[in-house]
Amino acid sequence: MSFIPAYLRSLRWFLHPEAKRFRLYFLIALIELPITVQLPRLIGVIADQLSRGEGEQTSFLLNITGCFLLIVISYTLMNLLCRTQGLFGIFIRRRALSRLYRHTLAQRRVFFDEFSDGEILTRASSDVDNLQEAMGYGLICVVDATLYPATIFISLAMTVGIGLAATIVLPIVPVIFLGFLMNRFWDRSFHAQQEAYENLSDEVLEGIQGIRVVRAYHVEARKNTQFAEAVIDLRKKKFIYRIWAVCFWPFCSMLLLISYIALFLIGLPMMNQGLLSVGQMTSALFYIASLQWPAVCLSDALLVAKKALESMNRIDEVLNYKDPEIEGDTKALTEGIHRLRFRDFHFSYPRHLSEIERKQHSEENRQTTTVERLQTNCSKEAEAAFALEGINFELRTGQTIAVVGPVGSGKSTLLQQLLRLYPMDNEGIEINGEAIQHFEPNSLRSHIAYVPQNSFLFSDSIQNNIFFSDGLRFGDEEVRPEQQKRLEEVFTIADLEEDLEQFPDSYRTQTGERGISLSGGQKQRISLARALYKQGAELLILDDCLSAVDGSTEARILEQLKQINEGRLMMVAAHRFSAVLNADEILVLDHGRIVDRGRHAELADRPGWYQDQCKIQGLL
């Protein structure tokens, strides 16, 4: 049972703050157990009095009253213990979920490449449930499987003698050895069960998120089949895991039957010889019956503790996750962003991406796998492996740089480097003359307003989605005049004024889950308004965020953005060149490299990919 100390060590973060409550719990248990085991002894005394015909004496009535009081006190203390251990379960669930939530929100993109949605959800649901069970029902099992049988054995030995007591309790020993033998089996089967939970979670999430595509292609039957297969797989693995636990209880009952047989074989001759009274025999029978619950608790304690230890290890995989990049000493970015420079910047995606992700990124961005290949870059294979390579440009306050290129050329990858979503291979990005790695990531992001390519809206009101960028949330409270004025300004810039008249509750209109009640263009413009509302953001990053709006709306938005760009740095990625006509410099990417650069007029006059696209888009 060496896993129990390991389990306790893994829960020090919870056990230490709750030390006082745990001491109180065990104090109540130490009071309740001796009281509970006195009941069989008192019943034995009453049986002796009845056998001697002393049923009407005062002592008999006192013993009957004592039995009643013992039952009431024992029930009260047991109820108090159950409520206390229930609170422990609630406390550990709340703290474990809080730790997981805070840790997950603080991670960069590389973390979510390591853990799938299903893995995170399973750890935050099934594994946390196992911890709650361990601190709830499991805590009772541990107490009743250790202190309770020890107290019963002492009381039994005082009643019938230590020799007979040891003989009666001896059949319980195989239960302990069986628990040791089953440990390794429980480990393997529980791990397989949790993996099946993760697969089922992934299947459910994929089906819900892709329900429109599933229905559009009329493949509901296939998705139902896949879901059923995942459920059947989980059911099989849970069955294999639980079958031994189900068999354990009858095994314990069979061993207790041996204890009863031993008591009768040895106790009856002793009664005939006058060495054992009727009351002692009756007390012994009650004590043996009382041993059935500790035997069951022993098996359940082993199961619960093993599940909790495995779950804690799985949760620790998330909580102890280390970013591949060594951050070193970082500082807050206090003076804002005034100058941005890419100096011979190279980037390759982390090595630990799964093969499917690696293939996808390779098709889109021609990624690499290792930093060593970057350092020994002397072959064409190594050169072609980088997602970004040899990037050089500079951006100052009031300027706009646009990034264009074919699909998969690395536009989004380039913009996301400024958010520190992935570890970097070199110090090729400078903020105000210092390497970007010198700044604390969250402090850096507080100076950046980012509009992603795929707009995401929370299931909340439109105004709360916009206020989100400044960490604000308004329910029934009134918005202050200065906030309302700024809200109206960003709505004007994002060309949402006409849409606002169509929304049933104006700014308080609910967007639905993931903005399902809005059109694609409305979602993009609300995401843009959210970025513009953010205070203290000197760098505005627009990642093809106007692809779902029509040309005239795009032109109005770009004109508004041009007017407010005097105090900002702006980077824009786009497929539609009408969004980059007024940029101070346009970078043309291909396979992660800058293959051409200049203003729109210059690039449109030079033969090449940009000129060809201008002809296709009707700009020439």
Per-residue confidence at 186, pLDDT binned at 50, 70, 90? low
Region 121-141: what's the mean pLDDT?
Answer: 83
Residue 111 has pLDDT above 60, yes or no: yes
Per-residue pLDDT tens over the stretch 190-219: 777 778 877 888 888 778 777 878 887 778
| CA–CA dist 345, 391 (Å, integer) | 5
Task: Give the pLDDT confidence score for residue 342 in this predicted structure.
Answer: 92
Residues 6+ apart with CB under 8 A from 571: 395, 400, 401, 402, 403, 415, 418, 539, 540, 541, 542
Find where tokens 């099992």 sit. Answer: 141
Reading the block at residue 604, the tokens are 């449109």
Task: Give the pLDDT confidence score for residue 341 in this predicted structure.
Answer: 92
| CA–CA dist 619, 577 (Å, integer) | 8
User: Which of residues 178 and 341 earns the better pLDDT score?
Assistant: 341
Region 220-242: what's the mean pLDDT?
Answer: 83
| Residue 433 CB-density burial (10 A; 0-12 exposed, 13-18 middle, 19+ buried) | exposed
Reading the block at residue 322, the tokens are 């280390």
| Residue 163 CB-density burial (10 A; 0-12 exposed, 13-18 middle, 19+ buried) | exposed
Which among 206-210, 292-296, 377-381 has the top mean pLDDT?
206-210
Residues 6+ apart with CB under 8 A from 478: none
Region 374-391: what's the mean pLDDT?
Answer: 56
Per-residue confidence at 360, pLDDT binned at 50, 70, 90? very low
SS3 428: coil
Task: Give the pLDDT confidence score for residue 382 in this predicted structure.
Answer: 40
| CA–CA dist 226, 233 (Å, integer) | 11
Residues 6+ apart with CB under 8 A from 126: 194, 197, 311
Task: Give the pLDDT confidence score for residue 329 in this predicted structure.
Answer: 66
Task: Give the pLDDT confidence score for residue 585 in this predicted structure.
Answer: 92
Residue 102 has pLDDT above 60, yes or no: yes
Per-residue pLDDT tens over the stretch 413-451: 898 888 888 777 678 899 988 888 888 888 888 888 888
Q: Are 436 and 420 in contact (CB under 8 A)?
A: yes
Per-residue confidence at 245, pLDDT binned at 50, 70, 90? low
H/E stretch holding 571? strand 569-573
| CA–CA dist 370, 353 (Å, integer) | 11
Residue 574 has pLDDT above 90, yes or no: no
Per-residue confidence at 179, pLDDT binned at 50, 70, 90? low
Check residue 233 and give left, alpha or beta (phi > 0: left; psi -120 to 50: alpha): alpha
Task: Give the pLDDT confidence score for residue 166 in this predicted structure.
Answer: 81
| CA–CA dist 288, 44 (Å, integer) | 13
Task: Give the pLDDT confidence score for residue 247 in this predicted structure.
Answer: 67
Residue 292 has pLDDT above 80, yes or no: no
| CA–CA dist 185, 148 (Å, integer) | 27
Q: Are 413 and 592 in contact (CB under 8 A)?
A: yes
Task: Give the pLDDT confidence score for residue 60 in this predicted structure.
Answer: 75
Residue 109 has pLDDT above 60, yes or no: yes
| CA–CA dist 317, 312 (Å, integer) | 9
Task: Give the pLDDT confidence score for residue 394 in this predicted structure.
Answer: 92
CB-side neighbour CA atoms (13 Å) of 10: 23
Task: Give the pLDDT confidence score for residue 180 in this predicted structure.
Answer: 61
| CA–CA dist 546, 150 (Å, integer) | 73
User: Which of residues 189 and 91 earns the better pLDDT score?
Assistant: 91
Residues 6+ apart with CB under 8 A from 287: 37, 40, 152, 155, 156, 159
Q: What are phi and psi of 477, to 5 degrees?
A: -75, 150
Task: Give the pLDDT confidence score for residue 354 in this predicted structure.
Answer: 39
Per-residue confidence at 474, pLDDT binned at 50, 70, 90? low
Report how far apart, in Å, the C-alpha atoms of 160 and of each of 25, 37, 151, 173, 470 are: 31, 14, 14, 20, 75
Residue 137 has pLDDT above 70, yes or no: yes
Residue 327 has pLDDT above 60, yes or no: no
Would strands 339-347 and 429-431 be described as parallel, antiparallel, or unpaired? antiparallel
- Which DSSP letter does residue 572 get? E
Per-residue confidence at 594, pLDDT binned at 50, 70, 90? very high
Per-residue pLDDT tens over the stretch 41-54: 888 888 877 877 76
Task: Give the pLDDT confidence score for residue 248 in this predicted structure.
Answer: 64
Residues 6+ apart with CB under 8 A from 581: 600, 619
Per-residue confidence at 366, pLDDT binned at 50, 70, 90? very low
Region 327-348: what's the mean pLDDT?
Answer: 83
Reading the block at residue 361, the tokens are 């990124």
Q: What are phi and psi of 229, to 5 degrees?
A: -65, -40
Would strands 585-590 and 429-431 be described as parallel, antiparallel, or unpaired? unpaired
| CA–CA dist 600, 580 (Å, integer) | 8
- 428: nearest Cα among 339, 342, 338, 325: 342
Q: Where are the beta strands (DSSP E) in 199-352?
A: 339-347
Which of 84-93, 346-355, 591-600 is least confident? Answer: 346-355
Q: How high does pLDDT run on average in the chain?
A: 78
SS3 389: strand
Residue 352 has pLDDT above 60, yes or no: no
SS3 161: coil
User: Which of residues 222 and 178 earns the better pLDDT score?
Assistant: 222
User: Which of residues 603 and 164 earns the better pLDDT score?
Assistant: 603
- 23: nearest Cα among 84, 68, 92: 84
Per-residue pLDDT tens over the stretch 499-548: 777 888 888 888 877 777 788 888 888 888 888 888 878 898 988 888 77
CB-CB neighbours of 435 under 10 Å:
14
Per-residue confidence at 7, pLDDT binned at 50, 70, 90? low
- 514: nearest Cα among 473, 466, 463, 456: 456
Residue 468 has pLDDT above 70, yes or no: yes
Which of 198-207, 379-388, 506-515, 574-583 is least confident? Answer: 379-388
Task: Give the pLDDT confidence score for residue 6 in this predicted structure.
Answer: 62
